[in-house]
Structure 1
Amino acid sequence: MVNRRGDVIDRALAVLDAHGLGDLTMRRLATELDVRPSALYHHFPNKQALLGAVADTLLLRGPRAGGTTRGSWDEQLAAACSSLRDALLAHRDGAELVATVRALGTGGRAPEEAVAAVLAGSGLDDEGVRVATRTLLHFVLGHTMEEQTHLQAASAGAIEDEVLQESDFHLGLALVLDGVRQRVRTGPPAPSARSGRAPRR
């Protein structure tokens, strides 16, 4: 039996880097650890729980994990989003893994909590914090997933070596943050604007 849960996660990260998310299965992982697949269920009830733990570890160990608590709220947000991208790029299919476990509700919540905590001090109302958090995470995950897909396709010779530039990420992030700053300055729209209906006269 594998005695340590951390050993399983470490080997799972190695399998992820070597073979990609599609090949990170309980059977392959058991083979890598030289145990029966049933031994893994001592630590994880199913594959979804394993992937959640792997994603959480990836994020925890990521470069500059947690961003920074210095500077204005928007500077902290920019740092947190950049740190998240760095953590995702540190492992093959990192963005796809985190996006998957977030959708399943099995892990990957630390960045969402960190971003929401910063936005809570920005002056946005609760709805603004919720939507801005989701928008920022969707941008970071989507952009990084596309970066990793381009890199893998280029390395396999499937496409020309045309990868997204890091400057594209930072410009896109700045544009999103510009929108958040504008909402902080102006406040939420009137109820009629939210619903899309013209006000009654």
Structure 2
Amino acid sequence: MMAERNSDRSGRHDRDSVTTTALRLLDDVGLPDLSMRRLATELGIQPSALYWHFDSKQQLLGAIAERILSRIPLEEHDEIATDADVLSAARSIRDALLAYRDGAEVVLSSYALGFGVDRTQARLRSVLQRRASIGADVAATTLLQFVIGHALLVQQRLHAESLGATHLVGDDTTGDVSSVFDDGVMLFLHGIDAAAKRPEDHSEV
């Protein structure tokens, strides 16, 4: 009976249900307190049983990151992407990151180790391929890093404010999130447009 409990072969939990519970626990207690032991207690199993589903905590965080980003829709359009199309894609990622406590930090840590963001990267690559004649892979990576970084900054400041920390002097990232974010995406797009036109301009000189 104990061997069955430790391996979690009883069928009470699977990878999907463990991830669901971990995401709920993340929202309740935050990333610093999301330990494998605490998750196992929540599930009513031994901590060692979790490794039947995930080889490491980082792999679990990768699954959580995928779940956080799973609400982002994949597009199925062929026409040239407008500013609004790219902005909508970027906003959908930002909103997914901000929907969960410490969501941006979880996704960032997973992204740094190559987990959890393939679907999201594909979403940005798809819309940017319809936008520019230059490398969409590099553009998608750059835009994704901006979105994650912005969301992480917002969450960190919101957390500091919730603890009563003095508000930082300077740009008010939490006070006008949409404006700061949208301006950043537009600056990025203008740079992409300029880079796409530069080879033609250079050949005409």
Deviations 1:49-79 (A, max 9, x none): 111111101111x3xx226555642432211
Deviation at 1:21, TM superposition (A): 1.5
Q: What is aligned with 1:117?
A: 126
Do the aligned residues in 1 keep the contact of 2:74 with 2:123 (CA within 8 Å)?
no
Query: 2 CA distance for matches of 1:44 and 1:151?
Result: 31
For structure 2, list consecutive stretches of 5 or more residues without a partner in the other structure. 1-7
Do the aligned residues in 2 keep the contact of 1:102 with 1:109 (CA within 8 Å)?
no
Deviation at 1:37, TM superposition (A): 0.6
Figure out how many residues of one structure are paired with residues of the other and give that number. 185
Deviation at 1:38, TM superposition (A): 1.2
Query: 1 CA distance for matches of 2:24 and 2:166?
Result: 26
Give secondary structure in 2 for the equivalent of 1:73. coil
Deviation at 1:177, TM superposition (A): 1.1
Q: What is aligned with 2:95?
A: 86
Deviation at 1:164, TM superposition (A): 4.4
Q: What is aligned with 2:54?
A: 44
Deviation at 1:188, TM superposition (A): 8.3
Deviation at 1:183, TM superposition (A): 1.9
Name the CA shift for 1:188/1:132 in 2 (closer, same or farther; >3 Å).
farther
Deviation at 1:146, TM superposition (A): 0.4
Deviation at 1:121, TM superposition (A): 3.0
TM-score (norm 1): 0.83
Query: 2 CA distance for matches of 1:29 and 1:188?
Result: 56
Deviation at 1:160, TM superposition (A): 3.0
Deviations 1:156-194 (A, max 9, x none): 11133962412111111111111112222334897xxxx
Do the aligned residues in 2 keep the contact of 1:68 with 1:76 (CA within 8 Å)?
no
Query: Would you say 1:101 and 2:113 are equivalent positions?
Result: no
Between stretches 105-114 and 139-148, larger displacement belongs to 105-114
Query: 2 CA distance for matches of 1:99 and 1:25?
Result: 18
Q: What is aligned with 2:3?
A: none
Equivalent residue runs for 1:157-196 within 5 Å: 157-160=164-167, 163-165=174-176, 166-187=178-199
Question: Identity of paired residues, percent?
Answer: 41
Name the CA shift for 1:33/1:121 in 2 (closer, same or farther; >3 Å).
same
Q: RMSD of the TM alignment (CA)?
A: 2.2
Do the aligned residues in 2 keep the contact of 1:147 with 1:164 (CA within 8 Å)?
no
Deviation at 1:8, TM superposition (A): 0.8
Deviation at 1:122, TM superposition (A): 3.0
Name the CA shift for 1:123/1:169 in 2 (closer, same or farther; >3 Å).
closer
For structure 1, list consecutive stretches of 5 or more residues without a partner in the other structure. 191-201
Name the CA shift for 1:188/1:95 in 2 (closer, same or farther; >3 Å).
farther
Deviation at 1:96, TM superposition (A): 1.1
Deviations 1:110-154 (A, max 9, x none): 1111111222233423xx323211211111011110000111110
Give the partner amino acid of 1:113.
Answer: A
Deviations 1:78-111 (A, max 9, x none): 1111100010010011111111111111222211
Give the partner amino acid of 2:151.
Answer: T
Query: Would you say 1:73 and 2:81 are equivalent positions?
Result: yes
Q: What is aligned with 1:194?
A: none
Q: What is aligned with 2:146?
A: 139
Q: Which has the higher contact order (CA 8 A, sep 6+)?
A: 2
Q: Which runs of 4+ in 1 moved over 6 A?
A: none
Do the aligned residues in 2 keep the contact of 1:67 with 1:76 (CA within 8 Å)?
no
Query: 2 CA distance for matches of 1:123 and 1:171?
Result: 19
Give the partner amino acid of 1:73.
Answer: A
Do the aligned residues in 2 keep the contact of 1:67 with 1:79 (CA within 8 Å)?
no
Name the CA shift for 1:73/1:29 in 2 (closer, same or farther; >3 Å).
same
